[in-house]
Each structure stands twice: as structure tokens, then as C-alpha cells.
Amino acid sequence: MVRIRELSAAAGQVVSVAGWLHHRREGGRVRFLEVRDGTGVVQCVARREALAPEVWDVSGELGLETSLRVVGPVRRDERAPGGVELVVQELVPVHRTAGYPITPKEHGVDFLMDHRHLWIRSPRQAAILRVRAALMRAVREFLDARGFVEVTAPVLTHTACEGTSQLFETRYFDQPAFLSQSGQLYNEAAIAALGRVYCFGPAFRAERSKTRRHLQEFWMVEPEMAFAGFEENLEVQEALVVHVVERVVAACAEELARVGRDPEALARVTAPFPRLSYDEALRLLRAQGLELAWGEDLGAPHETAIARAFDRPVFVHRYPARAKPFYMQPDPDQPELVLNADLLAPEGYGEIAGGSVRIEEVELLTRRMAEAGIDAAQLEWYVDLRRYGSVPHAGFGLGIERTLAWILGLEHVRETTAFPRLLYRLYP
């Protein structure tokens, strides 16, 4: 059996291909069957006079998405996608299919989402999933090459990281437990063992948000660095995003074309990224008629407006402490601000990463926890990290789905993962 992607190397040979019937075109005494196998699509040409009558009949009967094997010689044909076609000699259905629900006509989003288990077979959706894999590979490639050690953070946790309003609660035998919102707190422990670490896994947020950028389950890569400060934290984000975009553009030209994304839009993604302080961001918003009270976090419309003003990702830094989680280090020059930054993607995509310098002093940390209404006894281990060899440290989290939606120019994050968990969707 030869995979379709490798067919052009087999020109002239008789091969067997296994896949699914994607499309059929009738040409009188000839039939063109497009077969896909996950690596590509090949046109298989069935000629009436060259085939036994029963094979010819089968070639006309099979429903779309029938799984099958085709045997025949590979023939060069400049007009064919991939430069080759397969001349049908044998055609063996594996499982016959009738009435495949997804047809070339337009379907509504709800219908497609209800049939997501089948929808992912469509060339556009499969291309997105391939790019997702390439993006995740590029993230690991970058961090591994820079000496970050991947650490697995737990998914079942005993307390909140990013605020209690968004927790999915479950049971851990006889005690309550929560699905992880972020592996950051565990990373802060791991840096004292390994120096520079990252965790890469799912995060869960019970956000009652139905927007094109919110998922209730998403993937996040979270690097954390001992002995690093504000500047380095931003530089690593810049370099990571530049690397990921370069790798995806280089490795996924076919997929970008398939989803209609012009790689030109990504050619401007070079470091350094512009930086705006929170106060500058408020001024920019005001100039566009968007008022935001000082102290409030930016919402989606604000991020969109800021991100639209730039042609590459932009950092908004030093937010008011009260808009952000308890663990962020105050700015020594303006203690009402924190040493954080959110990275907003251009073309209106908004926040793709968020990070900060972390508090290193035990007194300050426990005071900020108390102000945030967090019981320090619940996070004794986290406070301990400030008692035993505390160091300046910083890190960030990059959301995979939002980054992918921006890189591919997608309307909605629901297409960025095989089986998205959305506010009103846990099926399939």
C-alpha cells in the first residue's frame, strides 16, 4: 500500500491505495473517483472498456465516503493535483456507505458542529488540524532548543490559579477538585528543580462566554523561567511567536492555501513587537471612541480595537494590579501597576498570550492572596516556594487555539481543534 502523498515517486508502478471516496465525476465511458487517505487526494480514472463489467458497475455505485482500496498503475499527468493519477484496475470496497450527511451544499454551523466527527474529514478542516499539529511541534522545537524542560502539570487540582469564577468542579473521592485553569503555579515550583520549564496541556475555564475566541477547554503552553525579568519574558514570547509563524508558513503552504490564508499577512511578524503601556492603550481606545474606566481589564472589543491598529502582534503591559491575578509582581516605580504583559494578535484577533513577573517575597504574596480572598493555607506549598530559595522569575501562557485562529485567519476558534468544548456544546 502506498500513501497518496508518496504516489509521485511511484509513477509507472502498479500500486494499491487505501482511503475514502471523496468525490465522483461521470464522463460517459470514464469515471473520475477522487480518493483521499489523510495524506492527500488522488484522482483514480476508471475506463469502461478496460474494466470487468462488475468493477465498472461498482465504480458508479459507491456512495461518497465509502472506504475502499484501488489497485492500478500510477500515471504522470501534469493537470492532476500532485502531478499523478491512478488508473483503476481493481476497486474493492472495504465498507460501503450510503447517505453521507455532509454534502457539497452549504450546511449551517449547528449541523456541522453536530456532525463534527464527520466534518473533520473535509479538506479544509483536515488542513486546519494539520497546521495545529505543526504549530504544536514548532512550540516544542523552540522551547526544547532553548533548554526549557517540559514538565507535566496536573489536570486535577485542589484550587484555582486564575480566579474562582471560572472553575469546573469535580470530585476527587471525598473532596472537591477542579480541572486545571493553568499549570503556572506548578511550573513555579518546577523552576527551582530545573531552571527553565514549560508545561503544555489542556486548560479548562467555565467561562459563560459565547464568543469567537472562547473555548471552555483549550490548550496552552506555559514557559516559566528562574532568574528572568520583565524584558526577557517579552523577548521569549516574541521569539517564540516569530519561530512558530515561520515554521508554519514554511511547512504548511498547501494547508494555508486550502484555508485561503495569504502568507503575506504573516511576513510582517518580526521582532521586536510594538509595546503599549496600559495607559497608552486607554488613550488609543479613547481616540477611537471606546471609553474604559482606569482599573478595568481590557475586554474583547478593546483588544480587537488595539490589535487592529497594528500589523504585527503588540504587547500591552503594566496593567492595574486590581485587573489581574494575585501572583503578579507590582511595578517598583508604580506599585498600583503590575509587571505583566498581554500579547494581542493583529487583524483584530486580540489576546493570544498573557504573562508576568511573579511575586518573590513571602509577605507581599500572602498580603496579595488575602486581598484576593485566597486562603493561604490552601496554597501553603506555593507560599513555601518563597521561603526556600525564592528567586526573581517570570513566565507566560500562549493559547494554541487563538494563535492558530490568527495564523490561519479563521473566523472562530471552534475550527481550531478537532472536538471543541463550547458554552453550549459537549457533543460529539
CB of 343 to ligand 4AD, least distance (A): 7
User: What residue 261 binds from ligand 4AD, Mg ion, none (CB within 5 to 8 A, per partner kind)?
Assistant: none
Radius of gyration over alpha carbons of the chain, in Å?
26
**Quick check: 38 and 19 in contact, CB under 8 A?**
yes
How many Å apart are CA 44 and CA 33, to the nearest integer?
5
Name residue, grid cell 475566541. 213
| Cα–Cα distance measured from residue 381 to residue 189, given in angstroms and rounded to the nearest whole number | 9
Pick one of 56, 142, 148, 218: the residue that binds ligand 4AD (CB under 6 A).
218
Q: Which is nearer to Mg ion, 346 or 354 (CB)?
A: 354
Q: Which stretch binds ligand 4AD (CB under 6 A): 89-97, 144-152, 171-179, 347-355?
A: 347-355
Rounded to whole angstroms, how far apart are CA atoms 91 and 53?
A: 12
Query: Looking at beta carbons only, is 258 or 302 nearer to Mg ion?
Result: 302
What do you get for the CA distance between the two ends of the chain, in Å? 32
CB of 354 to Mg ion, least distance (A): 3
The answer to whether residue 353 forms part of the interface with ligand 4AD (CB under 6 A) is: yes
395 contact choice in Mg ion, ligand 4AD, none (CB below 5 to 8 Å, kind-dependent): ligand 4AD
Residue number with CB closer to ligand 4AD (2 or 160): 160
Question: Residue 260 — left, alpha, or beta (φ > 0 → left; ψ -120 to 50 → alpha)?
Answer: left
Site stretch for ligand 4AD (CB under 6 A), options 28-36, 137-145, 349-357, 360-368 = 349-357
Per-residue binder mask for ligand 4AD (CB under 6 A), 161-190, x = binder: xx-------------------x-x------
From the list 290, 418, 416, the residue with the least C-alpha distance to 352 is 416
In the bound state with ligand 4AD, the residue whose beta carbon lies nearer, of 72 and 399, is 399
- Indicate the SS3 state at residue 46: strand
**Three-state DSSP state, 87:** strand
> C-beta of 333: minimal distance to Mg ion in Å?
23
Q: Binders of ligand 4AD among 387-416, rule CB under 6 A?
A: 395-397, 399, 401-402
* Residue 93 φ then ψ, to 5°: -65, 140
329 touching ligand 4AD, by CB under 6 A: no
To ligand 4AD, the closest distance from the beta carbon of 350 in angstroms equals 9
Nearer to ligand 4AD, 59 or 390 (CB): 390
From 241, 203, 200, 251, select the one nearest 223 (Cα to Cα).
200
Which stretches within 62-122 are classed as H helix? 109-114, 116-119
CB count within 10 Å of CB 3 equals 14
Count of residues near ligand 4AD by CB under 6 A: 22
By CB under 5 A, residue 395 contacts Mg ion: no
Cell of residue 353, nine digits: 498570550
Shortest distance (Å) from residue 339 CB to ligand 4AD: 12
Is there a cis peptide before residue 272, judged by omega within 30 degrees of 0?
A: yes
| Cross-strand bridge partners of residue 3 | none
Stretch that binds ligand 4AD, among 23-31, 35-43, 168-176, 216-224 (CB under 6 A): 216-224
The alpha-helical segments, DSSP class H, found in 104-178 are 109-114, 116-119, 123-145
Nearer to ligand 4AD, 33 or 185 (CB): 185
220 or 407: CB nearest Mg ion: 220
Cα(60)–Cα(54) distance, integer angstroms:
10
Phi-psi category of residue 79: left, alpha or beta, with phi > 0 → left and psi -120 to 50 → alpha: alpha
| Closest CB to ligand 4AD among residues 128, 220 | 220
CB-based contact 135:149 (threshold 8 Å): no
**Span near Mg ion by CB under 5 A; candidates 59-67, 229-237, 349-357, 359-367:** 349-357
**Of these, 354, 355, 395, 399, which contacts Mg ion (CB under 5 A)?**
354
Least distance CB 208 / Mg ion (angstroms) = 17
Positions that interact with ligand 4AD (CB under 6 A): 161-162, 182, 184, 205, 207, 214-215, 218, 220, 222, 351-355, 395-397, 399, 401-402
* Residues forming the site for Mg ion (CB under 5 A): 354
